[in-house]
Amino acid sequence: ATPMSIMVATGRGAGMGVLFRDAEAIEVFREVDTLIVDKTGTLTEGRPRLVAIEPAEDTDENDLLGAIASLERASEHPLAEAIVEGAKDRDIELSEVSDFDSITGQGVHGKVGERRVALGNRKLMETLEVDVGALLDAAEAMRAKGRTAMFAAFDGRAAGLIGVADPIKDSTPEAIRALHEEGLEIVMMTGDSETTAAAVARELGIDQVFADVAPRDKADKVKELQQRGRTVAMAGDGINDAPALAQAQVGIAMGTGTDVAMESAGVTLVKGNLDGIVRARRLSRATLANIR
Ligand code: ADP
Ligand code: MG
């Protein structure tokens, strides 16, 4: 493209909340055939709500919620916010936490009073050697509804199952349709479980799912598609996503996400939803069509 057409596209993009870092980002976007999107916060609102508490036998529901909410107060994960809000809604008082630890892509644990409390996914329970066998069927039933299931443990023993739902953004179905019309294959990538991810993907008509992806493996998934000959754009919002954004031919950062993500991206969307990707793609295509 000519410097002039690039300048025009850059300006027009900015007016629509699509910030291209340089000419290359505009030019390569046209060649993209595969778009990888993060589930949480990109397809969904990113504001999950607590929808189910299933305490283990001999465990009190409010005691369980109080303990895990105390723990989650120290975490910045969107799931943590759902738990803390859920406790607030029930006027449950929170306690002091010591020895707090957060394991990226797994969950949190620490001491609440005299008790060791943990909340997170299956991997966290494996790491902490907690047997959650009795909760597995109930967890799978939650996931089949598109919910995220988390396991809670007290002093190394299963204490219950927590279900959280993150609504799909109103704008997502129409954006997916438009992206398909642009000829893009859409791949969802998430640290969430296979069953939850598949339920959401089915609802949205998403073509492929990478679930249970640890944050450090996201860039490898991008590489995997590239090795199959794909030209990949990757949209994400977290610090975790930065290496994957850098690996993709076009990294797309959500302006609502972290600075680190934006620094690694060729495109930043001021509003963090898929509409911006549709606009960026159309703009990139129009820019180059003009000069050929
Ligand atoms: P995503 O990419 O979907 O945002 P993450 O990699 O951040 O997912 O997290 C993967 C999984 O790890 C979550 O679905 C959840 O089960 C667990 N997890 C991560 N952080 C927390 C937390 N603060 N509290 C409870 N569970 C967590
Ligand atoms: Mg995330």
CATH of the domain at 116: 3.40.1110.10
164-218 pLDDT, tens digit per residue, is 999 999 999 999 999 999 999 999 999 889 999 999 999 999 999 999 999 899 9
Q: For 192-221, give one letter per residue: b (16+ CB within 10 A) or e.
A: bbebbbbbbbeebebeebbbbbebebbbeb
Query: Exactly one of 38, 192, 241, 275 is catalytic; which is it?
Result: 38
Domain boundary among 165, 198, 224: 165
- Give the C-alpha separation, 141 to 133, whole Å: 14
- Whether 131 is catalytic: no
Residues 182 and 136 in one domain: no
Nearest to 123 by CA among 217, 35, 31: 217
- Give the C-alpha separation, 233 to 188, whole Å: 12
Cβ atoms of residues 124 and 109 within 8 Å? yes
Mutate to test the pocket of ligand 1, among 50, 75, 121, 240 (most ligand atoms within 8 A of CB): 121
Residues 175 and 83 in one domain: no
- The Å distance, Cα 45 to ligand 2 centre, comes to 12
Domain boundary among 165, 182, 200: 165
- Angle between helix axes 194-204 and 172-181 (nearest 10 degrees) is 70
Give, in order, the Cα–Cα distances in Å from 195 to each of 121, 192, 275: 13, 9, 26
pTM: 0.82
Identify the residue whose tokens are 């916010």: 81
**Which structural domain, as residue segments, surrounds residue 209?**
3-45+168-291
Domain boundary among 112, 138, 165: 165
- Give the C-alpha separation, 122 to 158, whole Å: 11
- The Å distance, Cα 192 to ligand 1 centre, comes to 7
- Give the C-alpha separation, 168 to 274, whole Å: 12
Residues 154 and 206 in one domain: no
Residues 284 and 223 in one domain: yes
Residues 39 and 174 in one domain: yes
For position 128, what pLDDT does the model report? 97
Residues 135 and 55 in one domain: yes
Residues 122 and 204 in one domain: no
Q: Is any ligand 1 atom within 6 A of the Cβ of residue 80?
A: yes
Residues 91 and 17 in one domain: no
Q: Is any ligand 1 atom within 6 A of the Cβ of residue 281?
A: no
For position 93, what pLDDT does the model report? 95
For position 78, what pLDDT does the model report? 87
Please tell me the residue having the least CA distance from ligand 1 atom 17.
Answer: 106
- The Å distance, Cα 290 to ligand 1 centre, comes to 44
How many CB atoms sit inside 10 A of residue 287's CB? 24
For position 290, what pLDDT does the model report? 56
**How many structural domains comprise the chain?**
2
Q: Residues in the chain with pLDDT < 70?
A: 257, 288-292
Residues 6+ positions from 10 with CB-CB distance below 8 Å: 20, 26
CATH of the domain at 25: 3.40.50.1000
- The Å distance, Cα 49 to ligand 1 centre, comes to 14
Ligand that comes closest to the CA of residue 242: 2
Q: Is any ligand 1 atom within 6 A of the Cβ of residue 211?
A: no
Please tell me the residue having the least CA distance from ligand 1 atom 18.
Answer: 107
Residue 157: its H or E element: strand 157-165
Mutate to test the pocket of ligand 1, among 37, 64, 79 (most ligand atoms within 8 A of CB): 79
Residues 253 and 177 in one domain: yes
Q: What are phi and psi of 36, to 5 degrees?
A: -100, 130
Cβ atoms of residues 169 and 195 within 8 Å? no
For position 110, what pLDDT does the model report? 98
Nearest to 192 by CA among 76, 78, 53: 78
Residues 97 and 125 in one domain: yes
Please report, as a single letter, which amino acid is at residue 170: D
For position 292, what pLDDT does the model report? 47
